[in-house]
Amino acid sequence: MQKFVCKITKVILLFMVMAYYTASLSTVSAEATRGNHLAPITIIEYVDFQCPDCVQAKKIVDQVLDKYDGKVQLKLKHYPHATHPFAISAAQVFEALSRQDEEKAWKFYDLSMAEQPVLKTGNSGLQYLVDKLNLSESEKDQLNRDLGDPTIEQAIKNDMEEENKLGFHSTPAFFINGIHLANATSLDDFSKVIDSLL
């Protein structure tokens, strides 16, 4: 009987923690979704496009999406560091692209992570990555219009404030269904949390 009560208590505590973090995490700027939009598991990642650790984390997240195909979705939020001067511009391009076509936004993300050093060259590096998307003239015009929309910059600032309020100040930072994943260095680290939720 005592073991049963302990088990129930653990489950209740887990749900309380999930409810707290889920209530704390909005999805204002996390519009572009990779994976099944109806998946029961949502991974939110706070990312900095110039963060080397984010490049390494992406490799693991790709494995997670592969392993849990259809059961997991990934949403990006932004936390560009002051030490990475072009990370905010890359975040703005990602968000602007996601308004048009989230597939193109994710392709930009993949290219940015694969060729991260080009971002150090600033606007020319961003242009190089955008050119690789083969946008039509109308898509380029729309991208430029959206980049001029102050709500995109505000959404990124909101993400940063949100992560600060949650008590975190680094990237990558992961939340799985609202639960903070403190150790995110392997597929196994993600699997332990995901398997417990499925």
Position 177 in a domain: yes
For residue 5, tell me if it sits in a domain: no
Residue 14 falls within a domain, yes or no? no
Residue 32: per-residue pLDDT: 81
Q: Is residue 8 part of a domain?
A: no
Residue 65 lies in a domain: yes
Question: Is the Cβ–Cβ distance between 177 and 18 less than 8 Å?
Answer: yes
pTM score over 0.75: yes
Assign residue 122 the CATH number of its domain. 3.40.30.10
CA distance 116 to 41: 28
| Pairing outcome for strands 72-78 and 41-47 | parallel
Distance between CA atoms of residues 67 and 7, nearest Å: 28
Per-residue pLDDT of the chain (198 residues; tens, 9 = 90+): 555 444 454 434 334 434 444 444 443 344 689 999 999 999 999 999 999 999 999 999 999 999 999 999 999 999 999 899 999 999 999 999 999 999 999 999 999 999 999 999 999 999 999 999 999 999 999 999 999 999 999 999 999 999 889 888 889 999 999 999 988 899 999 999 999 999
- What radius of gyration, in Å, describes the C-alpha atoms of the chain? 18
- Strand partners of residue 76: 45
CA 123 to chain CA centroid, Å, is: 22
Whether residue 11 is contained in a domain is answered as: no
Host domain of residue 68: 33-197
| Count of structural domains, the chain | 1
